[in-house]
């Protein structure tokens, strides 16, 4: 049996650590998990008796809820911790917070943190499996996995699919994870954003970089829009929201440059009228709500697979 049946690491810190076979395993498993969500009783006992801590140091609604739902559908016991009102605001360090939680013997810790590499810090000190739910501007692996799952569901494949990723490239963990995943799976990736928001060396990651959204849209199978945060909208990165939308907003006219069956994606939360026009966001090519639904299935797959622990010799 050459087929991979488990992940090599007991953590999911980033797409960077995943081989294509592991990505496929997660996506295949997510197909089965998605079916669970269609049943009248949307719950399976697979993770009964396991404890998952959701450690969110950064505000997040959809990712946190998506993980919680995934955990509950697998019958795990879940605990949540968000920074407001926690010991973190009292000056406790990340490592101390993690060690305190570890004392309660969770099996997995899902962590969201504003600092890049925070999940790596936890993985170094924790016995539990660490799942990165977004670390700073580094990675957001489950988002890329659910995006890939959505693309695969719509296009039947990842290899050869032309994906344009448009927006604030520099500050986007979604971009990094998606670029790593899509290039690894043989997709063709075009990254587009204002020159002030293009990370150095992006071109060396196997993607085409452009500042022209028309060029990016041309012939695309997938248009993946990235959120542009309001704080970047004034001052040194961008002169104004108005100009950003003029130059980089996804409008119906620009969408028309893509393939006729192109899909429009957004990791959310969306800024309507900033990176995407409302008629496009709500149009029939938009799969934004699919992404949300798929997020639960993909996270179930990740939780399930990581519950198996680390591959050991002879396993």
Partner 1 sequence: MPVVMDADRVAKSLTRIAHEIIERNRGIDDLRLVGIRTRGVPIAQRLAACLKDITGTEVPTGVLDITLYRDDLMGHDVGPQPLVRSTEIPFDIDGRDVLLVDDVLYTGRTIRAALDALIDFGRPRSIQLMVLVDRGHRELPIRADYVGRNVPTSKKESVRVHLVEIDGRDEVEVA
Partner 2 sequence: MKTLLKGGRVIDPVAGRDGQFDVLIDGDRVAKIGKGIPAGDARVIDVPAGFIVAPGLIDMHVHLREPGQEHKETIATGLASAVAGGFTAVACMPNTSPVNDQAGITQFILKRAAEAGLARVYPIGAVSIGSNGEQLTEIGDLRQAGCVAITDDGKPVGTALLMRRALEYASMFMMPVIEHCEDPSLKGDGVAHEGAVASLLGLKGIPACAESIMAERDISLAELTGGRVHIAHMSARQTLRAVRDGKARGVHVTCEVTPHHFTLTDEAIRGYDTNTKMNPPLREEADRQAMIDGLRDGTIDAIATDHAPHHADEKALEFDKAPFGIVGLETAIPLCVSRLIEPGLIDWPRLIDLLSAAPARILGLPGGTLAEGGPADITVIAPAAAVTVRAAALRSKSKNTPFDGWALKGAAAATIVGGRVVFVNDAVAGAERFQ
Contacts with partner 2, residue ranges (CB under 8 A): 16, 93-95, 113, 115-118, 120-121, 135-139, 173, 176, 199-202, 204-205
Asked if 78 is part of the footprint of partner 1 (rule: CB under 8 A), the reply reads no
Binds partner 1 by CB under 8 A, chosen from 15, 27, 50, 142: 50
Phi, psi of 176 (to 5 degrees): -60, -50
* Smallest distance, partner 1 to C-beta of residue 41, A: 4
Is 148 or 265 the residue whose CB approaches partner 1 more closely?
148
Q: In whole angstroms, what is the distance from residue 195 CA to residue 209 CA? A: 10
**Given 36, 69, 88, 241, the residue binding partner 1 (CB under 8 A):** 36
User: Quick one: 199 or 219, whose CB is closer to partner 2?
Assistant: 199
Stretch that binds partner 1, among 115-123, 190-198, 257-265, 300-308 (CB under 8 A): 300-308
**Residue 301 touches partner 1, criterion: CB under 8 A:** yes
Least distance between partner 1 and beta carbon 314 (Å): 11
Least distance from partner 1 to the Cβ atom of residue 56, Å: 25
Which residues are the active-site residues? 62-63, 90, 112, 140
In the complex, minimum distance from the CB of residue 43 to partner 2, in angstroms, rounded to a whole number: 35
Q: Is 127 in the site for partner 1 (CB under 8 A)?
A: no
Nearer to partner 1, 37 or 199 (CB): 37
According to CB under 8 A, which one of 23, 27, 33, 133 is a site residue for partner 1?
33
Give the interface segment with partner 1, choosing from 42-50, 60-68, 224-232, 264-272 (CB under 8 A).
Answer: 42-50
């Amino acid at each position: 049996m050459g087929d991979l049946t488990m992940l090599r690491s007991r953590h999911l810190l980033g797409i960077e650590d995943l081989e294509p076979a592991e990505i496929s395993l997660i996506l295949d498993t997510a197909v089965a998990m998605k079916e669970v969500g269609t049943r009248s009783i949307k719950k399976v006992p697979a993770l009964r008796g396991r404890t998952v801590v959701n450690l969110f140091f950064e505000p997040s609604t959809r990712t946190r809820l998506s993980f919680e739902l995934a955990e509950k559908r697998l019958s795990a016991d879940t605990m949540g911790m968000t920074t407001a009102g926690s010991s973190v605001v009292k000056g406790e360090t990340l490592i101390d917070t993690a060690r305190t939680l570890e004392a309660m013997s969770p099996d997995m810790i899902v962590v969201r943190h504003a600092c890049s590499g925070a999940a790596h810090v936890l993985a170094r000190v924790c016995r539990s499996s660490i799942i990165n739910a977004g670390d700073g501007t580094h990675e957001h692996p489950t988002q890329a996995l659910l995006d890939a799952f959505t693309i695969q569901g719509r296009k039947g494949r990842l290899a050869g699919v032309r994906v344009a990723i448009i927006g604030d490239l520099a500050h986007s963990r979604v971009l990094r994870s998606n670029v790593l995943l899509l290039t690894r799976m043989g997709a063709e990736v075009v990254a587009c954003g204002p020159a002030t928001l293009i990370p150095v060396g992006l071109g060396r990651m196997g993607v085409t970089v452009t500042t022209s959204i028309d060029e990016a849209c041309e012939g695309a199978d997938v248009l993946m829009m990235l959120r542009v945060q309001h704080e970047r909208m004034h001052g040194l990165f961008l002169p104004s929201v108005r100009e950003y939308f003029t130059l980089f907003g996804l409008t119906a006219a620009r969408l028309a440059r893509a393939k006729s069956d192109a899909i429009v994606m957004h990791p959310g939360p969306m800024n309507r009228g900033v990176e995407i026009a409302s008629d496009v966001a709500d149009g029939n090519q938009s799969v934004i709500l699919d992404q949300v639904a798929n997020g639960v299935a993909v996270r179930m797959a990740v939780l399930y697979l990581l519950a198996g622990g680390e591959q050991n010799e002879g396993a």
